[in-house]
Amino acid sequence: TAKVDKKQEYQDNTDRIEVERTFSLSKRCYGMSCITTKLEETQLTSIALSVFVTNLFRIQRRILCALLHLFRFWYDRNRYKSWKLQIAA
């Protein structure tokens, strides 16, 4: 059980480090350091919103990459069709 506990503790630490890094990045890059809160409820809301916005940016980046790949595929396919028609003519 000591080995399992050690593995669980390691996983918890890596998860915590990733969350702290994301929160620090959002504070630095998105200007969250300008926001100061006094109440605990407000602090929790601020943290939750910063994580939410960070996830939105990540989703937006994935959608944009997918659209760009789709556009590139469509462009290459149409270019190949027009090249094929020129050879046949």
- State the DSSP string of 43-67: HHHHHHHHHHHHHHHHHHHHHHHHH
In this prediction, residue 70 carries a pLDDT of 92
Span 37-71, pLDDT tens digits:
788 888 888 878 877 877 888 899 999 999 999 99
To 5 degrees, how large is the angle CA 12–CA 15–CA 20?
A: 120
Q: What is the pTM of this model?
A: 0.50
Which residue would you say has higher pLDDT here, 2 or 50? Answer: 2
In this prediction, residue 62 carries a pLDDT of 92
Span 5-36, pLDDT tens digits:
999 888 888 877 877 787 777 777 766 667 67
